[in-house]
Structure formats: structure tokens, C-alpha cells
């Protein structure tokens, strides 16, 4: 990802790797596309299997859409 990619809108984002595609799908499933850049930053700091595990754990913990996003984000909030 180059510096110009940070200024792209969500609509312009095209995944270039499998990991980016997975992150895109997680953001979509969470209905959290407005925070796609946050998700991509998490991907650069954590292994993809850890992120997928956190997503699966969040889905088991809540069925409420807002609570699901909060549960997932709580794994990575600093």
C-alpha cells in the first residue's frame, strides 16, 4: 500500500492481496465499511488468522449489529 492509497475512498478500494480481500469481507459482514481504513491498519499489525478468529469470536458473542462491531473493535482498541 502506498501513500496515495490512504486517500482513496472506500468505493475506490480494490484489494490487491488475499488478506486485503478477507479484511474487506469482514468489514462488509460487520456493516463497518466506513472504518475500512481502520481494518486495513489492523491487518498490517496482526496476523490474518488472529483477525478472523476475533471476528468469529465477536459473531458468537453477539447478534446485535452495533454490539458485534464493538465486540470486534474491542479486540484491537488500545
Residues 5-25 have pLDDT tens digits of 555 556 678 999 999 999 999
3: phi > 0 → left, psi -120 to 50 → alpha, else beta; which?
A: alpha
| % of the chain surpassing 90 pLDDT | 59
Contact status, residue 51 vs residue 20, Cβ threshold 8 Å: no
- Better-predicted residue by pLDDT, 77 or 7: 77
With CA atoms as reference, report the closest residue to 43 among 65, 21, 12, 10: 21
Model confidence, pTM: 0.79
Domain ranges of the chain: 15-74
Contact status, residue 76 vs residue 42, Cβ threshold 8 Å: yes
- State the alpha helices, DSSP H only, in the chain: 18-29, 36-45, 48-61, 65-74
Residue 54 confidence (pLDDT): 94
- Give the tens place of pLDDT for each residue, 52-74: 999 999 998 777 889 999 999 99
Amino acid at each position: 500500500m502506498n501513500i496515495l492509497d490512504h486517500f482513496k475512498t472506500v468505493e475506490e478500494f480494490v484489494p490487491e492481496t488475499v488478506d486485503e480481500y478477507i479484511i474487506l469481507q469482514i468489514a462488509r459482514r460487520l456493516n463497518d465499511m466506513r472504518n475500512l481504513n481502520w481494518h486495513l491498519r489492523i491487518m498490517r499489525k496482526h496476523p490474518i488468522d488472529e483477525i478472523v478468529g476475533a471476528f468469529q469470536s465477536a459473531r458468537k458473542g453477539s447478534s446485535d449489529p452495533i454490539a458485534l462491531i464493538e465486540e470486534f473493535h474491542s479486540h484491537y482498541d488500545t
